[in-house]
């Protein structure tokens, strides 16, 4: 009887897993350029810690800075550098680089444009694709919303700062809406993050700029020059962060985390 009781007691202990001290729901919000690596990192972290679940939202880099600064989310992520004022309030952790590219409809055979041609198209100085060797189609321009990291980096490179766009340009929000818009109009052109999401979208294609393709390799080497940093952002006093968030940041810094982030861009 004693042996049976001991066996039952031992069996009870081994059959009940220890509670995961990191278990819980955690929130991360940020810019679309950094969304893919953040999704990949949070997915792997949840696999390592089955009690952890994530709510990851694309809200834009500016909103992410505001939310992280105020402590309304556990973690933010951005696809641009921080301003000096923002950097004084938040810490950053690099998770790679993202490019800003030019996309056209999949039906468009144009594969390469010069920097000056892109500027003139978006400014409304080139109005028809026949001026660039394609058929007689009036160009339809799509631009990202004001203050989007994609638009800011686009304007910095192609316009040297503030841009003057074609008066008929249409404003779209976030990457998915951009891809849908450009993919829906045969003669359209737009600006987009050069992410794996963009590269694999069958309704559009990225064009080279001055003969340089917007590939991850060209971005890292610096030959493709329209790039911006991808970063996690969080409040500077790490002691006040939740244990799971501190553990996640350590994971994102690790060689495995950096490999996962790099592969997801």
pLDDT confidence of residue 7: 43
215 shares a domain with 130? yes
| Domain count of the fold of the chain | 2
In a domain, 208, yes or no: yes
Q: What's the whole-number mean pLDDT along residues 121-142? A: 97
170 shares a domain with 70? no
User: How many angstroms from the chain centroid is the CA of residue 85?
Assistant: 22
Neighbouring residues of 212: CB distance < 8 A, sequence distance ≥ 6: 218, 223, 224, 225
Instruction: At 124, list the tokens.
Output: 């409304």
Helix, strand, or coil here: 97?
strand
Q: Which pLDDT band, with edges at 50, 70 and 90, does 5 fall under?
A: very low
Find the domain containing 111 and state its range. Answer: 98-227
34-53: pLDDT as tens digits: 999 999 999 999 999 999 99
Q: How far apart are the first and last CA of the chain?
A: 62
149 shares a domain with 215? yes
In a domain, 18, yes or no: no
244-260: pLDDT as tens digits: 999 999 999 999 999 99
Q: Which of 9-23, 55-69, 99-113 has the lowest mean pLDDT?
A: 9-23
Q: What's the whole-number mean pLDDT along residues 215-219? A: 91
The CATH number assigned to the domain holding 185 equals: 3.40.190.10
105 shares a domain with 212? yes
In a domain, 193, yes or no: yes
Please provide the average confidence, as pLDDT, over all residues in the chain. Answer: 92
DSSP class of 238: G
């Amino acid at each position: 009887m004693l042996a049976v009781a001991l066996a039952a007691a031992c069996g009870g202990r081994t059959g009940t897993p220890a509670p995961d001290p990191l278990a819980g729901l955690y929130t991360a919000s940020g810019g679309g350029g950094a969304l893919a690596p953040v999704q990949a990192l949070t997915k792997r972290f949840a696999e390592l810690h089955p009690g952890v679940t994530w709510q990851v939202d694309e809200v834009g880099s500016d909103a992410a800075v505001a939310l992280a600064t105020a402590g309304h989310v556990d973690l933010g992520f951005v696809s641009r550098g921080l301003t000096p004022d923002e950097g004084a309030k938040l810490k950053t952790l690099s998770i790679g680089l993202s490019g800003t590219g030019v996309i056209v409809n999949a039906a468009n055979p144009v594969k390469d444009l010069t920097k000056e041609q892109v500027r003139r198209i978006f400014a409304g100085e080139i109005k028809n694709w026949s001026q660039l060797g394609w058929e007689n189609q009036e160009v339809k321009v799509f631009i990202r919303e004001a203050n989007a990291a994609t638009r800011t980096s686009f304007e910095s490179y192609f316009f040297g700062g503030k841009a003057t766009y074609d008066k008929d340009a249409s404003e779209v929000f976030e990457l998915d809406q951009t891809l849908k818009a450009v993919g829906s109009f045969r003669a359209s052109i737009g600006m987009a993050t050069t992410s794996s999401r963009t590269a694999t979208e069958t309704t559009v294609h990225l064009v080279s700029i001055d003969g340089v393709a917007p590939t991850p390799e060209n971005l890292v080497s610096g030959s493709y020059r329209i790039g911006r940093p991808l970063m996690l952002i969080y409040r500077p006093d790490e002691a006040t962060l939740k244990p799971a968030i501190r553990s996640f940041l350590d994971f994102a810094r690790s060689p495995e985390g950096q490999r996962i982030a790099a592969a997801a861009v």
